[in-house]
Amino acid sequence: MIGIFDSGVGGMTVARKIEQVCPQFPLLYFGDVAHTPYGSKSSDTIIGYSRRNTDFLLNQGAQVIVVACNSAAATSVDVLRAEYSVPIIDVITATSSKAAAGTLNGRIGIIGTRATIQSGIYEKQIKRVTPDYRIYGQACPLLVPLIEEGWLNKRETKMILRRYLHPLRQHQIDTLILGCTHYPLLTHLIQKKIGKKVQLIDSSIETAQHLKSFLDNSPEITSNIKEKFNGYQPHCLENNRFFVSDSTPPLQKLADGIFGRKINLIKTNA
CATH at residue 191: 3.40.50.1860
Same domain, 78 and 6: yes
Binding residues for substrate: 6-7, 38-39, 70-71, 181-182
Which of 202, 234, 254 delimits the end of a domain?
202
Same domain, 87 and 209: yes
Confidence of residue 56 (pLDDT cuts 50, 70, 90): very high
pTM, to two decimals: 0.88
Q: Which residues are known catalytic residues?
A: 69, 180
pLDDT tens digits, one per residue of 147-180: 988 899 999 999 999 999 999 999 999 999 999 9
Containing structural domain, residue 107: 93-202
Which of 149, 183, 202 delimits the end of a domain?
202
Binding residues: 6-7, 38-39, 70-71, 181-182
The number of beta carbons lying within 10 Å of the beta carbon of residue 17 is 23
Same domain, 66 and 110: no
Q: How far is CA 105 from the centre of its chain?
A: 26
For the chain, what is the domain count? 2
- 239 or 83, which is more confident: 83
pLDDT at residue 222, as a whole number: 85
User: How far apart are alpha carbons 50 and 87 in whole angstroms?
Assistant: 15
Which of 178, 202, 226 delimits the end of a domain?
202
Asked if 130 and 106 count as a contact pair (C-beta separation under 8 A), the reply is yes
User: How far apart are alpha carbons 183 and 46 in whole angstroms?
Assistant: 20
Same domain, 113 and 60: no
Same domain, 47 and 134: no
